[in-house]
Amino acid sequence: MSAQGNVARWDRVTVCFGTHRALDGASFAVPVGGVTALLGRNGAGKTTAIRTLLGLLAPTRGSVEVLGHDALAVPPALRARIGYVGEGHPLPRWMKVKDVVAYQASGFPTFDRAQCTRWLERFDVPRTRRVMQLSRGMRAQLALAVALAPRPDFVVMDDPALGLDTVARREFLEVMIDLIQEEGRTLLLTSHVLTDVERVADRVVLLDRGVVRVDAPLDDVRRLVRRYELVHAGVPPETLEPIAGLVRARRRHGRWTVTVRGEEAAVVAAVRATGAEVAGVEPLSLEDVFVEYTTREEVLS
């Protein structure tokens, strides 16, 4: 772990693919313990961030640290302390389940075969079947089992629930919660299922077109980001005066609605300073917050 108590840290990381910037000066960190969710729309840079973390991709600019080392020079012993479940649970399709287990066990010195077997039995994954013959749910559980069996300190999951039905996703979540409850373990995950994220995460990082828009505890995000309905004396103005923490502003049916991040009293005072009054305040779910931050149109901040 680094001196700042972070398992991983991105420092002004830019990753370019040709002229496209997948990450654009992104800086954020994953603190020790708990669950950090990396959120964003498709193409926001989540998978790119994870690939730089695992040393699978070199940043064009900036640096990434994991477990106190440059991500491009992680010693094998430290790498063994990182578990990884890739997007879509990619495993060699021709391997049998028992071969996948043996393959992982041969590389990770701390691989716990007994635990892995227990998980596979719990998920009803047949050991003699080939990966290509497994359902998506079973493949996900297999990927999870072999990633967790080495008992890693830091687990990275790239959209682990992708393609799973509700029941399989719920089972997946249960395992994740078990994992979190084990002392000292840190989890970084990306997901598009924000209800799942709300259940397990205690910190969120929101990426939008490669830029970090939010990096805060989940409770802070839910408490501080709210939607305010404004009323103006007379005809509402065509444009709004700047409001500190403004996320999004829309004008509908002759009224302005703004989404602002900040303490409610401070936001109300800031709104009054622009000559308007707050007619209503609406708390937002994480999904609402996500939409407010990432919707392309009418974003003023």
Partner 1 sequence: MRAVWWREVRELLLPGLGAVVALAALGVHWAIYVRPADRVAVFGVVGAGLGLFQGLLDRRRRDDGFFLHRPASALVLHGTRGLAALSWLLLGAGAFAAGLGYERARWAARSFAPASGFARYSDILVLREGDDAGTVTIPVGLPTSVLALLVAVTWAGWAATRFGVARPRRLLAVPVTGVATLGTWSFVARAPDAVAAAAIAGASGLAWAVWGLWDLAGDRR
- Does residue number 145 form part of the binding site for partner 1 (CB under 8 A)? no
Asked if 55 interacts with partner 1 (CB under 8 A), we say: yes
Q: In the complex, what is the shortest distance from the CB of residue 168 to partner 1, in angstroms, rounded to a whole number?
A: 19
d(CA 32, CA 203) in angstroms, rounded, equals 11
Pairing of strands 186-190, 34-39: parallel
Contacts of 60 (CB under 8 A, 6+ apart): 14, 15, 16
Does 1 bind partner 1 (CB under 8 A)? Our answer is no
Closer of 93 and 272 to partner 1 (Cβ): 93
Residue 148 CB, nearest approach to partner 1 (Å): 13
8 - beta bridge partners?
A: 30, 66
Question: Site map for partner 1, 155-174, x if CB under 8 A?
Answer: ---x----------------
SS3 breakdown of the chain: % helix, strand, coil, rounded to 5? 35, 30, 35
Among the listed ranges 31-39, 51-59, 235-243, 273-281, the one in contact with partner 1 (CB under 8 A) is 51-59
Give the per-residue SS3 of 37-65. Answer: EEECCCCCCHHHHHHHHCCCCCCCEEEEE
Residue closer to partner 1, measured from CB, 51 or 248: 51
Question: Which residues from 231-290 bind partner 1, rule CB under 8 A?
Answer: none
**With respect to partner 1, which residue has the nearer C-beta, 86 or 137?**
86
β-sheet with 246-252: strand ranges across: 246-252, 255-261, 225-232, 276-283
Q: Say whether residue 109 binds partner 1 (CB under 8 A).
A: yes
Q: What is the dihedral of CA 132, 137, 142, 145, to 10 degrees?
A: 170
Is 123 a binder of partner 1 (CB under 8 A)?
A: no
- DSSP letter assigned to residue 260: E
Q: Which stretch binds partner 1 (CB under 8 A): 31-39, 88-96, 272-280, 293-301?
A: 88-96
Q: Which residues bind partner 1 (CB under 8 A)?
A: 47, 51, 54-58, 72-74, 76-77, 79-80, 82, 84, 86-88, 90-92, 94-95, 102-103, 106-109, 143, 158
